[in-house]
Amino acid sequence: MSKTGWALLLVVVLGILLFIAMMMIQKPKKSEPEPVQEEETESLGSIMQNIVRLAEAGKVPDVPFTAGETEQQEVQQQWGESQNVAEIGNEKYEDYIAQDVTIGYQNELAFDIRSFKADIQKIHLADIKSSMGEPTEIRYYQDEATNQIILVYLINSIYRLKWILPKPTETDSNPSVHHISVYTEIKDEVADMINQMTLDEKIGQMLFAGVSGTALQQETSSLIHDFKVGGMILYANNLETPAQAITLINDLMAANTDNRLPLFIGTDQEGGNVVRLPGALKNFPINKRIGAINEPQFSYEIGSILGEQLKAFGFNLDFAPVLDVNSNPRNPVIGDRAFSDKPHIVSELGIQTMKGLESQQVIPVIKHFPGHGDTSVDSHLALPKVMKSLEELNKLELIPFKAAIENGADVVMIAHILLPNIDETYPSSMSKEIITGILREQLGFDGVVMTDDMTMGAIANHFEMGQAAVDAVKAGNDIVLIAHGFSNVTSAIEAVKAAVNNGEITEDRINESVRRIIQLKQKYQLEHKLVPAVDMDKLNANIEKVLNTYMK
């Protein structure tokens, strides 16, 4: 072959090879699942398995709390305050935005834990049904902003797992999850009890009444049997000797045996110049002296011994400690009953006395909110007027109360003081601005609120007793204290009942107070238990020991 022929053949061969190479480049490769997709599918399955596994224990992923077990206080300790709150009936839902979680509470117990985390939102409707089968129940929810389908799966006898998604449409038949919810039904025994109570029983629980004489009299028996009052206050003139005092208190408890709830039996045993217990019982120094010593452990032990004394006589509630800041030297009613004119000393020592009482299962009542220390009039005789603003109260008088509430105070007593810069019409014990606005809303107190004695001159000289009781309840009080006069107590009960019947006060409002009262009685395990003779020597020996330790 000639050189020209070989050259031509080489060109043809190279052209064929080039064509084959280009065809191989253009030929599509056979598609195969990408490793990333396999990992996502596997991860999705793991997420769903983890959700179901945790739901069996009442939990959702990455949340340390358990539905039906965790209390609101524990959540706040770990996560702080929530960012949004919504209330629906007796349920409260709080949003914890940083955690992508919403928790629903009933009576401060978490019952519904919802997660909006991003990995959960990767799951679709088809994934749920493929993995879990048909739901136990399908629900729907729609408002102006949402249109949702809710798949409910009964996980076990305690917990339900809910998948909440946008309702499927023609354009999106397989929507992704919006959030999940692990939910449990909380048996509300208190609500069941309230539902069984008559209106008379409910209103009776909201009255704390005085006792006449040194023995159980017919009027007192009537207040217990006929009017179902929830508590009794005893003064020094009711308590002559230890034996007589115990007989009277045992008779009060025996008279209440057939009623649904045990009685509060309380007195003012502050120590110092305000003591009620009879007999040769040694006393503690005045609070002003204790404040000068300024030893928190001393205050705790005083509270503990006061509780021990009261418990020995059959009392379950003490109208103490005093948390007033004695800022006015001319104050005729607080004075040396206050620990100090410095709010931080009042706060620390008052809280320790409160905790000491609690250690003996005696209910402390912190008083006199919003602060009686800057008055120049005795509210037993007339109505004091204090020209302070809320800003000024926040800088002094409210400091000890705020601190005590943060330390778990259960009961707050409201003073009879007119604060015209806050409420120019009603004294604090009847003021919605002060009780609901400041105590409930600003300070966040959800325990029992009670008035000081409504027969004191500050109220009795200016208001009719029945209407005063109605106004006190409307302001936010749970308990109205009427320490003197059978007719005063019955007038208050009848007026509150009439206000409910004519719609001025709703029965739901009454139920709120009764719930708090029942929960308080349950917390301190109040019971009808007769008291034996008091061992005065033992009580005095305990006082001596503490005094010798701190007052050398």
Catalytic positions, written as ranges: 380, 452
- In 3D space, the residue among 345, 267, 271 whose CA is nearest the CA of residue 302 turns out to be 271
Cα separation, 266 vs 520, whole angstroms: 14
Apex 221 CA angle, 217 and 226, nearest 5: 150
The region that residue 220 occupies, defined by phi over 0 for left and psi between -120 and 50 for alpha, beta otherwise, is alpha
> Do the strands 317-318 and 363-364 form a parallel or antiparallel pair, or are they unpaired?
parallel
Cα separation, 488 vs 481, whole angstroms: 10
Cα separation, 362 vs 410, whole angstroms: 11
Q: Is 487 exposed, middle or buried (0-12, 13-18, 19+ CB in 10 A)?
A: exposed
Cα separation, 469 vs 479, whole angstroms: 9
In this structure, the dihedral spanned by the alpha carbons of residues 511, 514, 519 and 522, taken in order and rounded to 10 degrees, is: -130
Gyration radius (Cα) of the chain, Å = 34
- At residue 361, the 3 state secondary structure works out as coil
Cα separation, 94 vs 111, whole angstroms: 12
Cβ-Cβ contacts under 8 Å for 545 (sequence gap 6 or more):
none
Q: Cβ(353)–Cβ(300) under 8 Å?
A: yes
- At residue 251, the 3 state secondary structure works out as helix
At residue 149, φ and ψ (nearest 5 deg) are: -110, 140
The tally of CA atoms less than 13 A away on the side-chain side of residue 446 is: 8
- At residue 327, the 3 state secondary structure works out as coil
> Do the strands 480-482 and 207-210 form a parallel or antiparallel pair, or are they unpaired?
parallel
Cβ-Cβ contacts under 8 Å for 188 (sequence gap 6 or more):
90, 106, 107
Cα separation, 387 vs 376, whole angstroms: 12
> Do the strands 411-414 and 366-369 form a parallel or antiparallel pair, or are they unpaired?
parallel
- In 3D space, the residue among 397, 395, 394 whose CA is nearest the CA of residue 384 turns out to be 397
- In 3D space, the residue among 300, 378, 383, 390 whose CA is nearest the CA of residue 337 turns out to be 378
Tell me how crowded residue 367 is: count the other CB atoms within 10 A of its CB: 25
- In 3D space, the residue among 456, 293, 491 whose CA is nearest the CA of residue 367 turns out to be 456
- In 3D space, the residue among 177, 167, 173 whose CA is nearest the CA of residue 128 turns out to be 177
